A and B are shown apart, each in its own frame.
Chain A
């Protein structure tokens, strides 16, 4: 028997009516995607792309206008389905009268846990998110990062099968981010499914197996992170540091696509080249060496998800322009 997908969305649409004139605004315009169990899935997109709306539909916070959406085999919004989901909202706010412990007790109870279950888990979880020494402190005194970590702890408290995290590392310092990253990797190792919505593309690239990029209510592209980066970049980008004059270097390179060529203070020259493939790289090195250019440093630049993302939207801007 095959398990249902953790999340399955087909032709999902959602429209709102806004303002005095009740103008129709389409937040989702036919989104389709599938998140398998056990993977970490990243949802990317510029502001207003419809990422949070998609999460709200999945959790039943808003009703879909059309299409279908399911969570762990149950219709989106179904109460039993929600029991197996841990959710960390964007800009989480926990009421000031709580301490870390009472907040976990409150949200744990709402998730259907007994007092005994909460008691046995809450210290361990607070320790895992780095709040072990602040358990009885009022959340009034918590920084945004601490609140995010507490939010993550509450999302994990009832041991959910699926985690939906909306900007989980927002407001965290590098150490905090690393902490959260480690927690997520640990969860992945435990077979949990994580659905991540983030602006921080480096984070997504580091953590996620697959991503989807949403733009104006439509999935623009979806797939494996590395494939996606590869898809969006043609050829190889090569960075060289050579010991020769600027003229000699340019003469040696001939008609090749030089992205930049700048002399360094120590007399060397830094050159960035855009080449077609590995054979072109080999040929370029041979030509430089045969012209007597001494190669001080050589690196092949990796194309990041951010590069791919920017390129995708830059192309879009050009098309629109």
Chain B
């Protein structure tokens, strides 16, 4: 053993003699010294940042000029200076005014408006009881501050209070903020303005940023340098005059080679420990992020290096040239990157966007809806899904998403809501974004016109859910309240104008307000679920759950309300049926409440910490299905009060779940396969499995198997991310659980790369044993 340790030590000596190494160590030291002064200070959030203000706020405040009635908008407007008011009045706002905006002027004015409002926020005297009297206060934090009294608040608390007032006054238009923000500092100097982040979120973000930096910056650059430094170790062994002496010694050739190989790895390990250990210390000391899991990146990085170095070593054994070793290692990296990229692009630009997430029963047909919101009707003759009810906007969205091939996620702004089937009118209805204007539009597809979408009308602002009430009416849930479709959406109403300005009245058009008398503001994070049999509605908004029921007047009334501790900024997915209300929390906890008393009946956390994506409830009230982002489906039986992993095929690859009107379960797996299950006991009733086209066959039977067997050193960041988070998916902090998350495949890169490495090293050993030098 001593002999081989001597070889490892010699590899160290050789690497230490390299000038590149010393240069790298100096660079690492400099980077650590540069990072060390970074830190942050936590303070209450008050400032509005770049993306906190939606430009429609400018339109609302300028309209308030014409009103005599005190309101938050008028209060803000009156406190702006005359020059700014004049500029805002003349400003052409995209999506509001027909005239195309002067982009520079628009950006400047929005910036000045934000600066002016930030000044107002800092003023203790900003609060005006009369102006803010009509504001519905959802936030517990705002309520607490108001109860304490503005005079009792510190300056920072007063500024926070003002910010919360504005958020409550302009829901969805002024971004809701976490209670505290972070001011970044470098040494003693502040860096820019404060950022609305909790320190816990920052630490969470830093973990994911660390993974990003490791995978895209330190990984490739560090690996290249490590290969440059160590590539000569193996070829040098084969230099004539050196090799014969080595082979004359009483040592095994294979072990001699492997010892040289491990020598290179051990040397890189020391460099990685220095660099990553240094960063870990900086994060711990300066950011209080003492997360030992970060140190797991050392073995992962080392493993990544070991894979590339195995290729370099095999090239060294065969060609005995350092340059060839480096060249072939780079070629290997490029091949791995190319195959990974090809699969990623194909999956992200097609598979991930086109897979189905929901099933709707339409007449006797089955309609499946994909991630974008495009509906497909099952064609039993051709065993295929045929697109129906597709609007031009959706085609544009599909085109835009083709360019976003680096992520599988469909952004919230590009997703459609629905469709749902409006049975009494035999039509499909949906709310879809108009990519050109950014506005949401309400679409109707009559059944007697082959579901072709008719001319759309503007949907209520902030719409996020569509339901069918028990009497067949269509209900829209928006951040500004509830709306019922009562009129003819294809009929165009002239907007009400005042002094030449069109008023965005939510009740205009074919929609009738159905909110409670006291109003209903549903600020994000939010969700809603309807009990299909009773028509009761459950709403979640910023830590509060409400159950509303339809009154005789047709408007909804709040029947029960409950605050959920410590979850004001955390999203929850709701399911509502029978006597049960199911809350799927962001941390994977499943809570079942009594729908009327809102008392907790049971709680499960079997799939925690993976995040839930969709909750579906059977109309009969017995079954709930919770689909997690990792593609695993759980069912809750309200009768036996038991939660269990659904005994369905495709677990881990399930992308959608729905219930039929007669309480059968639809499960979508393999992207496009829909299976209908009866539930007591679980039994497949029917499968809707489309015939694969050439592309699908090529993908499923060629690309996927090749990719599975191919080494994936570049994907080891997923392993690290999984070890850090414990979650099967790459969690995006979008505040919306229904937005797809990129799946992490933590162990596939490990086993495929390890297998590849053993094969490569094995070939090198056999070659060395048999070759005559």
- A and B pair up: yes
B124 to chain A, nearest CB (A): 71
Closest residue of chain B to A140 (Cβ to Cβ) is B17
Residue A110 is within 8 A (CB to CB) of chain B in the complex: yes
On whether the beta carbons of B236 and A109 are closer than 8 Å, the reply is no
B246 to chain A, nearest CB (A): 7
Which listed segment binds B: A54-62, A206-214, A280-288?
A54-62
Residue B251 is within 8 A (CB to CB) of chain A in the complex: yes
A98 to B242, CA, bound (A): 13
On whether the beta carbons of B250 and A107 are closer than 8 Å, the reply is no
Which listed segment binds B: A40-48, A84-92, A120-128?
A84-92
On whether the beta carbons of A93 and B249 are closer than 8 Å, the reply is no
A272 to B250, CA, bound (A): 55
Residue B26 is within 8 A (CB to CB) of chain A in the complex: no
On whether the beta carbons of B246 and A110 are closer than 8 Å, the reply is yes
On whether the beta carbons of B239 and A59 are closer than 8 Å, the reply is no
Closest residue of chain B to A62 (Cβ to Cβ) is B772
A79 to B248, CA, bound (A): 9
On whether the beta carbons of A110 and B241 are closer than 8 Å, the reply is no
Which residues of A lie under 8 Å from residue B246 when comparing CB positions? 110
Which listed segment binds A: B3-11, B203-211, B512-520?
B3-11
Q: With A59-B248, A110-B249 as known contacts, state yes or no: A96 contacts B241, CB within 8 Å.
A: no
B: interface residue count bin: 20 to 34
Which residues of B lie under 8 Å from residue A89 when comparing CB positions? 241, 244-245, 248
Q: Which of A80, A82, A95, A97 contacts B248 (CB 8 A)?
A: A82
On whether the beta carbons of A91 and B241 are closer than 8 Å, the reply is yes
B163 to chain A, nearest CB (A): 63
**Which residue of B3, B240, B249 has the most chain A CB atoms within 10 A of its CB atom?**
B249
A: interface residue count bin: 35 or more
Residue B247 is within 8 A (CB to CB) of chain A in the complex: yes
Closest residue of chain B to A57 (Cβ to Cβ) is B772
Residue B2 is within 8 A (CB to CB) of chain A in the complex: yes
A143 to chain B, nearest CB (A): 15
Q: Which of B236, B245, B251, B772 contacts A87 (CB 8 A)?
A: B245
A114 to B6, CA, bound (A): 11
On whether the beta carbons of B773 and A97 are closer than 8 Å, the reply is no
Closest residue of chain B to A89 (Cβ to Cβ) is B244
On whether the beta carbons of A97 and B14 are closer than 8 Å, the reply is yes
Which residues of B lie under 8 Å from residue A110 when comparing CB positions? 3, 6-7, 246, 249-251
On whether the beta carbons of A60 and B249 are closer than 8 Å, the reply is no
Residue A106 is within 8 A (CB to CB) of chain B in the complex: yes
Which residues of A lie under 8 Å from residue B645 when comparing CB positions? none
On whether the beta carbons of A91 and B16 are closer than 8 Å, the reply is no
Which residues of B lie under 8 Å from residue A91 when comparing CB positions? 240-241
Residue B13 is within 8 A (CB to CB) of chain A in the complex: yes
Q: With A109-B2, A110-B7, A111-B249 as known contacts, state yes or no: A97 contacts B17, CB within 8 Å.
A: yes
Which residues of A lie under 8 Å from residue B14 when comparing CB positions? 95, 97
Which residues of B lie under 8 Å from residue A304 when comparing CB positions? none
On whether the beta carbons of A61 and B247 are closer than 8 Å, the reply is yes
A282 to chain B, nearest CB (A): 55
Closest residue of chain B to A87 (Cβ to Cβ) is B248
Which residues of B lie under 8 Å from residue A95 when comparing CB positions? 10, 14, 236, 242
Which residues of B lie under 8 Å from residue A106 when comparing CB positions? 6, 9-10
Which residues of B lie under 8 Å from residue A59 when comparing CB positions? 244, 247-248
B235 to chain A, nearest CB (A): 11
A163 to B236, CA, bound (A): 25
Residue A83 is within 8 A (CB to CB) of chain B in the complex: yes
Q: Which of A80, A94, A98 contacts B250 (CB 8 A)?
A: A80
A107 to B772, CA, bound (A): 22
B78 to chain A, nearest CB (A): 78
B149 to chain A, nearest CB (A): 75
Closest residue of chain B to A60 (Cβ to Cβ) is B247
On whether the beta carbons of B249 and A94 are closer than 8 Å, the reply is no
On whether the beta carbons of A93 and B772 are closer than 8 Å, the reply is no
Q: Which of A16, A60, A109 contacts B3 (CB 8 A)?
A: A109
A102 to chain B, nearest CB (A): 7
On whether the beta carbons of B241 and A85 are closer than 8 Å, the reply is no
Which residues of A lie under 8 Å from residue B245 when comparing CB positions? 87-89, 92, 107, 151, 154
A93 to B252, CA, bound (A): 21
Residue A177 is within 8 A (CB to CB) of chain B in the complex: no
Which residues of B lie under 8 Å from residue A96 when comparing CB positions? 17
On whether the beta carbons of B239 and A109 are closer than 8 Å, the reply is no
B613 to chain A, nearest CB (A): 57
On whether the beta carbons of A83 and B13 are closer than 8 Å, the reply is no
B103-143 residues with Cβ-Cβ distance < 8 A to A are: none
B1-38 interface code vs A (CB 8 A; 1 in, 0 out): 01101110110011011000000000000000000000
Which residues of B lie under 8 Å from residue A56 when comparing CB positions? 244
B226-257 interface code vs A (CB 8 A; 1 in, 0 out): 00000000001001111011111111100000
Residue A73 is within 8 A (CB to CB) of chain B in the complex: no
Which residues of A lie under 8 Å from residue B13 when comparing CB positions? 97-98, 102
Residue A134 is within 8 A (CB to CB) of chain B in the complex: no
Which residues of A lie under 8 Å from residue B249 when comparing CB positions? 82, 107, 110-111
12 further contact pairs, Cβ within 8 A, besides A88-B245, A91-B241, A92-B241: A59-B247, A59-B248, A79-B252, A87-B244, A97-B16, A97-B17, A106-B10, A107-B245, A110-B7, A110-B250, A112-B3, A151-B245
> Could you write out 28 A-B pairs with CB less than 8 Å apart?
A59-B248, A60-B248, A61-B244, A61-B248, A79-B250, A79-B251, A80-B250, A82-B248, A87-B244, A87-B245, A89-B241, A89-B245, A91-B241, A92-B241, A92-B245, A93-B241, A95-B14, A95-B236, A97-B16, A97-B17, A106-B9, A109-B2, A109-B3, A109-B5, A109-B6, A110-B6, A110-B249, A112-B250
Shortest Cβ-Cβ A-B pairs, 7 listed: A109-B6, A97-B17, A93-B241, A110-B249, A87-B248, A62-B772, A89-B244
